[in-house]
Amino acid sequence: MRIVKFSYKKKEEWGVLEDGIINILKQSPFSKIIRTKKHIPLKKVSLLVPAQASKVVLVGLNYRDHARELNMKIPREPIIFLKSPTALIAHKQRIIYPEGVKRLDYEAELALVIKKKAKNIPQKKAHEYILGYTCLNDVTARDLQKKDGQWTRAKSFDTFCPAGPWIETVLNPSKLGIKACLNSKTKQDSSTSNFIFSVPYIISFISRVMTLLPGDIISTGTPPGIGKMQIGDNITIEIDGIGRLQNKVSL
Ligand code: MG
């Protein structure tokens, strides 16, 4: 099932997308998915970030092929960090290139949206807490990441977290092709089969640190091939079984 969040005539709604038509839901999908009898074509609405994140938690190095590329050791436990939820933007919204930043990078990532409150979750039960999966671009001011010695500023400028276009609820996250295309040229091309830490491991690990709330986003790291974007570039994150998240970089 594809779950969308959208705005139409200034009203925010949730829906289920089938063949280009949205079936509007009665309420947010976190408690229960209840369909109404109302429908609207996808092309009439503006898509919103399909979440209601109190936080966005990301994993640093999580692809074996990316670790090899960087000549780094395989980490023994996940390195996690936060992005401000105010950095979130939807499919087709613009990534703003901040003044003074010298290198702005894309990072294609598989993200998941949390369905219900999660604390100290064993790996075996992790699937019960996932509403579904979406594409995420972990936009990073690489020069500031190096300069600051920690990542908050480099990762959390407004618009630095494109996510969408929707949530796919039925998906096996362990073998998905993942790509980043910059102006139609493929720059990242890998598979989640290269994960160092699986999705259940990541959820279990993070939930032992902080309580995850419905609508929170967890992002699972990026494969090799990260690189820089310039003003005017179009960046697309594509994941098998989900779709394409497209954003343009602008001033
Ligand atoms: Mg990342």
122 and 230 housed in the same domain: yes
Number of domains in the chain: 2
184 CA → ligand 1 middle, Å? 21
pLDDT, position 56: 98
| 3-16: pLDDT as tens digits | 999 999 999 999 99
189 CA → ligand 1 middle, Å? 15
The mean per-residue pLDDT over the stretch 121-140 comes to: 98
Which residue range is the domain that position 37 belongs to?
Answer: 2-46
186 CA → ligand 1 middle, Å? 18
74 and 142 housed in the same domain: yes
CA distance linking residue 245 with residue 170, whole number of Å? 18
pLDDT, position 49: 98
71: left (phi over 0), alpha (psi -120 to 50) or beta: left
Q: Tell me the whole-structure pTM to 2 decimals.
A: 0.97
51 belongs to a structural domain? no
The mean per-residue pLDDT over the stretch 87-114 comes to: 98
The mean per-residue pLDDT over the stretch 164-190 comes to: 97
69 CA → ligand 1 middle, Å? 15
19 and 130 housed in the same domain: no
pLDDT, position 223: 96
Give the domain CATH number at 15. Answer: 2.30.30.370
CA distance linking residue 125 with residue 146, whole number of Å? 37
103 and 227 housed in the same domain: yes
Q: Is the pLDDT of residue 67 over 90?
A: no
State the DSSP code for 42. G
| 192-215: pLDDT as tens digits | 999 999 999 999 999 999 999 999
Amino acid at 215: G
CA distance linking residue 201 with residue 128, whole number of Å? 13
221 CA → ligand 1 middle, Å? 5
Q: Count Cα neighbours of 172 within 13 Å in the Cβ-side half-sphere.
A: 4
80 CA → ligand 1 middle, Å? 10
94 belongs to a structural domain? yes
34 CA → ligand 1 middle, Å? 34
Which residues, in sequence order, are CB contacts of 105 under 8 Å at separation 6+?
139, 140, 141, 142, 226, 227, 228, 229
Per DSSP (E only), the strands in 147-242 are 161-168, 177-182, 185-191, 217-219, 227-229, 234-239
Question: 53 and 88 in contact (C-beta within 8 Å)?
Answer: yes
Question: Ligand 1 being an ion, which residues bring their Cβ within 5 A of it?
Answer: 107, 138, 222
pLDDT, position 10: 94
115 and 229 housed in the same domain: yes
pLDDT, position 31: 84
Instruction: Dig out the tokens for 76 from the structure.
Output: 């023994």
77 and 17 housed in the same domain: no
Share of the chain above pLDDT 70, in %: 100
Give the domain CATH number at 158. Answer: 3.90.850.10
206 and 243 housed in the same domain: yes
